[in-house]
Structure 1
């Protein structure tokens, strides 16, 4: 009886009464069941998030499809093509382009102002393109940036309205 009392005082169970604890096989089965339960929970959460994301993407695409295209613009075409030397050092390169502006159809005052400022706009476009190198004009992204730069600079000098688009009807870099 002395040994059983010592075990109880030390916080342990008496040796004869304990029964030996949980089997290692049961412990492993509990771990496997917990892992399977965790995987199932992660899979369910992933499916719910994926479904919500797909639904919101579809809704956004549906909203974009419902927007009507803008009305067609009137064009102001430059009668002569542009031939502009690039800023490249050493080897000479030039840009040959034909240019048109998109303006609102009903804006006759802007059309008249564009006709009056033709020489001023040609000079401005020559300065903008002339300070670019060949490498800055080859890529599509660079050409789109050039369009935006031309549009911003031309709109800055106009007083009767704004151009809405710049079109390159021909664009050759040599």
Structure 2
């Protein structure tokens, strides 16, 4: 629910929050779609890749809704996650870690200031999970992208600068790492 609200996929029933000085609950559906397409990159636990499309086409799909496809930029995003040599492979031809890296490339291809990651390592083995966390944290340190990640794995959480623990929708603790 939290990521859906912050990601402008759901609207709050009470309270308010702002993105770039604009109260989200007051935005039209078109304005919300624009915020999602230009300012937020999404990384899901289940990858959400289209199986009949290549890795490159899946990354390009992220640009279609943000104003147009730029194949060179899509290739650069795949290179950023170490998959330029797998650009023409379909998701079924990729490992789980590679599929998640395609999903990250799709999320970063628009250069969003915010990435929302929902259990990005949840379906991966520990080695692939560490690779994904390394990529995500480097996006923050090298490009200044804000990363908001939901995880149940304390080892993964401790790669972040700040950990906020929620229980039943309430903040129960917060720590700076």
Q: Same fold (TM over 0.5)?
A: no
TM-score w.r.t. the length of structure 2 is 0.24
Q: Which structure shows the bigger proportion of residues in helix conformation?
A: 1
Higher relative contact order (CA 8 A, sep 6+): 1
* TM-score, length basis structure 1: 0.24
